[in-house]
Amino acid sequence: MNTGVKKITAYKVLSIILLIIFAILFAFPLYWILTGALKTPAAINAASPEWFPHEFTLRNFQVLFTKRSAPLYELPIPFTKLKVVGATVPAAVRWLVNTVFMAVMAMVLTCITAAAAGYALAKKRFRGRYLIFSLIVAAMALPKQVILIPLIREISSLGLYDNIWAVIFPTVGWPFGVFLMKQFSEGIPGEMLEAARIDGASELRTFTSVVVPIIKPGIGALAIFTFINSWNDYFMQLIMLTSNANLTISLGIATMQAENSTDYGLIMAGAALASVPIIIVFLLFQKYFTQGITMGAVKG
């Protein structure tokens, strides 16, 4: 018995040491981005790396912000070919604006459509619901990239190519959200819906005042999940967006690294700009995020 206890402790100590080593390795790339962004060119290209910068500089961010510029926003005036154009700002700022707009729009549209559809699939006994649900599950198992070529032709014929909506719409169409919301809606007690119906509440009213409050945690999880995924969905952005003013921050950084592949300081500054906002969002809402991941899998 005694040796058994010792064995367990030895194993435990060893596994914790290994765990810490791996944790350091996993955190290192981010640490290297953040410190690299603040290092001088000499420190970046030093033969023996500076594990912690001896000297901090904003030079990399200065270069990043002066290299390219773009208008802060461009709003087309409906029914004309005119546009309202904002002040000229560093392109990286515009890319951030684009990325936030894209992620917020994808998030809002996904949450609204998926909450309604998930509720319908879980609680409404309409014809064809099994067929629709199997289609959704089948589509989830396919890699998105398989459909990229037809998608790009479709987007072009809709006149949306090189437009931020070209990235938003396919993200909203991706059925994971519906699947997730169906899982959450299964838990709505039938009696509550029944009671609302007997009280004479309309379907829409039942949805907004009975269903939505119950599935709110699910909507929160889906919102944060969609926001982060769409922020980081480099592939979709790459194939849909081309002109300088329309890029997202990830895409902009990728373009910059293709042009200045040896200026690692500059590229790290860009990488920091692309990743720090989304990491902050993740840390703030990490609880919902974890919940979303696990809920999607529980009965998956």
Partner 1 sequence: MANQPSMSRALARRENIAGYLFMLPSLIFFVGFVVIPMVLCVYTSFFDSNMNQNTPDVFIGFANYAELWKDPVFIKALKNTFIIVFVSVPVVCIFSLWVASAIYRMKDSIMSLFRIIFYLPVVTGSVAVTVVWKWIYNNYYGVLNYLLKGMGVIDQNINWLGDQRFALWGIIIILLTTSVGQPIVLYVSALGNVDATLVEAAEVDGASDLQSFWKIRWPLIMPTTLYILVITTINSFQCFALIQLLTSGGPNYATETVMYYIYYTAFKLYRFGYGNAMGVILAIFIGLLSAVQFRLAKET
What distance separates the 2 farthest-apart alpha carbons in the chain? 84
d(CA 240, CA 227): 18
Cα angle 90, 92, 93 (rounded to 5 degrees) comes to 70
Extract the tokens encoding 24: 């350091």
Number of residues that bind partner 1 (CB under 8 A): 98
- Measured CA to CA in angstroms, residue 98 lies from 53, 165, 237 at distances of 32, 10, 11
Closer residue to partner 1, CB minimum distance, 2 or 261? 261
Among 78, 159, 190, 200, binds partner 1 (CB under 8 A): 190
Binding mask 32-71 for partner 1 (x = CB under 8 A): xx--x-------xxxxxx----------------------
Nearest alpha-carbon partner for 137 in 172, 183, 106, 171: 183
Residues 191-220 that bind partner 1 (CB under 8 A): 193-194, 203, 207
Category of 75 on φ-ψ map: left (φ > 0), alpha (ψ -120 to 50) or beta: beta
CB of 254 to partner 1, least distance (A): 5
CB-CB contact of 99 with 248 (8 Å): yes
Among 62, 66, 145, 208, binds partner 1 (CB under 8 A): 145
Among 60, 271, 285, 288, binds partner 1 (CB under 8 A): 271
Among 2, 3, 5, 26, binds partner 1 (CB under 8 A): 26
d(CA 190, CA 122): 11
Closer residue to partner 1, CB minimum distance, 55 or 194? 194
The amino acid occupying position 226 is T
- Measured CA to CA in angstroms, residue 88 lies from 63, 71, 95, 133 at distances of 16, 4, 13, 47
Residues 83-142 that bind partner 1 (CB under 8 A): 109, 112-114, 116-117, 119-121, 124-127, 129, 132, 135-136, 139, 141-142
d(CA 80, CA 176): 37
The verdict on 9 binding partner 1 (CB under 8 A) reads: no
CB of 76 to partner 1, least distance (A): 22
d(CA 190, CA 123): 8
CB of 166 to partner 1, least distance (A): 10
The verdict on 3 binding partner 1 (CB under 8 A) reads: no
Binding mask 217-256 for partner 1 (x = CB under 8 A): -----------x--xx-xx--xx----------xx-xx--
Stretch that binds partner 1, among 31-39, 54-62, 71-79, 89-97 (CB under 8 A): 31-39
